[in-house]
């Protein structure tokens, strides 16, 4: 999953997690309610698969019974969705409601006049805005105006681990430093367990490693300088150090064999973790919901552990810093009809009701609603939920995922070069040179 305009959430400004999981089936039509096939129905595309799809569908089903309009749904897998949406926008046939991650992608829609300005609507509906985390509006805002409705949950990227795999390898505790992490690699490999699962074919999964290494080594300004257009920012010594460290881990057989052909959309990376083929995984907090849905009794039996990305020895970055999504975002297509736009806005008012909040909590997420942490105490997943709440709310800096922060053009170049870096086809210096060439584009 990915995100938006480069965002910093200071400690206490954010709180929580979420689960817009990558899809596993799509596209499929699931329009519901009378009149959902009519021309007046607002079309709504979003990601398929657990845990998000049934929760989103439930919100639509409840709205369609209110008589305030109709929503017709189509679902897609993560990567399919991005391609389909890009094509639809180019052809002038996008859905009435555009689900996304805000940030750089949203900015490109705004610049192309493809989404409506919602600033005045939020001013007229202050109660809708005031109940959500203030931090969630950062990625929805372009040049001081709001172009999207924040929704769902906050999603920091975290480390997950298989406690049983740790026992088999004689490892007591998860690594707290990069040095400790590297020292565990041969121990797991000696037992025939991959140290880390990785869905390398999806590329953005590899990116998470660089996001944390850059931050832990040099702080948020390392990527921040590239985002802000500073010349040759990717050649920063901290960046080169981070790029070198990830290739050191790859060369040490730190990742599952054949990681470059593993896909995130199939949730194969989480399966490697709960089946004991891999000991650890760096992934979004939505992974908990996927493992809960697909992993049998793995969570119930207490086999899943979690921790924050380790500190890097001598690094300048605050080890409480995190990266991820401050929410998910719904925009209104500028070419939708007046009736479709009205239905969309009415739908926005109903989002994150008690039923939807409970759905996200049950799937392992904390909704972006003020005070939602009060609902966590009775959850069987409270240990994980409170961990996520703490990671998000206590982070010295909460950065947005790079591919959501950057423009679509720069993001694609980034992902292409990350794939080559992880396949050891380019050096850290070549990566930096290639990325320096698209700064500001």
CA angle 29, 34, 35 (to 5 degrees): 75
Question: What pLDDT does residue 29 have?
Answer: 54
CA distance 203 to 2: 11
Task: List the chain residues with pLDDT less than 50.
Answer: 1-27, 30-37
Phi, psi of 138 (to 5 degrees): -55, -55
Question: What pLDDT does residue 77 have?
Answer: 93
Closest CA to 181 of 312, 82, 341: 312
CA distance 332 to 340: 9
pTM of the model: 0.78
CA distance 354 to 312: 41
Question: What pLDDT does residue 30 have?
Answer: 47
Question: What pLDDT does residue 291 have?
Answer: 96
Question: What pLDDT does residue 136 have?
Answer: 83
Q: pLDDT tens digits for 403-419? A: 988 888 899 999 999 99
Q: pLDDT tens digits for 235-245? A: 999 999 999 99
Give burial (CB, 10 Å; 0-12/13-18/19+) of 276: middle
Question: What pLDDT does residue 38 have?
Answer: 66
Q: pLDDT tens digits for 356-399? A: 999 999 888 889 988 888 899 889 999 999 999 888 877 888 88
């Amino acid at each position: 999953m990915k995100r938006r305009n480069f965002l910093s959430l200071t400690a206490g400004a954010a709180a929580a997690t979420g689960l817009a999981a990558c899809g596993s089936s799509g596209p499929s039509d699931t329009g519901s309610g009378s009149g959902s096939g009519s021309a007046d129905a607002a079309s709504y595309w979003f990601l398929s698969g657990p845990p998000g799809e049934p929760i989103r569908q439930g919100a639509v089903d409840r709205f369609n019974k209110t008589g305030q309009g109709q929503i017709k749904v189509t679902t897609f897998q993560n990567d399919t969705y991005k391609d389909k949406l890009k094509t639809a926008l180019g052809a002038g046939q996008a859905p009435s409601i555009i689900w996304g991650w805000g940030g750089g992608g949203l900015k490109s829609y705004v610049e192309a006049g493809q989404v409506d300005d919602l600033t005045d609507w939020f001013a007229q509906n202050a109660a809708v805005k005031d109940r959500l985390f203030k931090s969630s509006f950062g990625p929805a805002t372009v040049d001081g105006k709001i172009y999207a409705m924040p929704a769902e949950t906050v999603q920091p990227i975290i480390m997950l681990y298989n406690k049983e795999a740790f026992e088999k390898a004689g490892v007591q505790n998860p690594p707290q430093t990069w040095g400790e992490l590297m020292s565990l690699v041969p121990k797991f490999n000696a037992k025939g367990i991959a140290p880390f699962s990785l869905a390398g074919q999806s590329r953005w999964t590899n990116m998470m490693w660089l996001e944390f290494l850059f931050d832990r080594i040099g702080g948020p300004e390392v990527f921040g300088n590239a985002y802000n257009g500073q010349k040759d920012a990717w050649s920063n010594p901290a960046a080169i150090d981070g790029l070198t460290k990830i290739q050191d881990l790859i060369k040490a057989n730190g990742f599952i064999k054949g990681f470059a052909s593993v896909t995130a959309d199939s949730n194969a990376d989480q399966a490697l973790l709960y089946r004991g083929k891999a000991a650890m995984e760096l992934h979004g907090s939505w992974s908990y919901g996927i493992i809960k849905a697909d992993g049998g009794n793995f969570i119930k039996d207490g086999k899943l552990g979690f921790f924050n990305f380790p500190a890097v020895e001598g690094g300048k970055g605050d080890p409480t810093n995190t990266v991820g999504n401050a929410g998910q975002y719904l925009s209104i297509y500028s070419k939708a009809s007046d009736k479709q736009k009205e239905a969309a806005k009415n739908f926005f008012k109903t989002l994150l009701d008690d039923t939807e909040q409970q759905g996200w909590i049950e799937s392992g997420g904390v909704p972006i609603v003020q005070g939602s942490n009060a609902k966590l105490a009775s959850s069987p997943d409270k240990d994980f939920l409170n961990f996520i709440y703490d990671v998000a709310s206590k982070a010295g800096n909460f950065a947005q995922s790079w591919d959501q922060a950057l423009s679509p053009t720069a993001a694609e170049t980034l992902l292409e070069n990350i794939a080559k870096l992880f396949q050891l086809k380019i050096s850290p210096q070549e990566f930096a040179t290639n990325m320096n060439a698209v700064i500001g584009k």
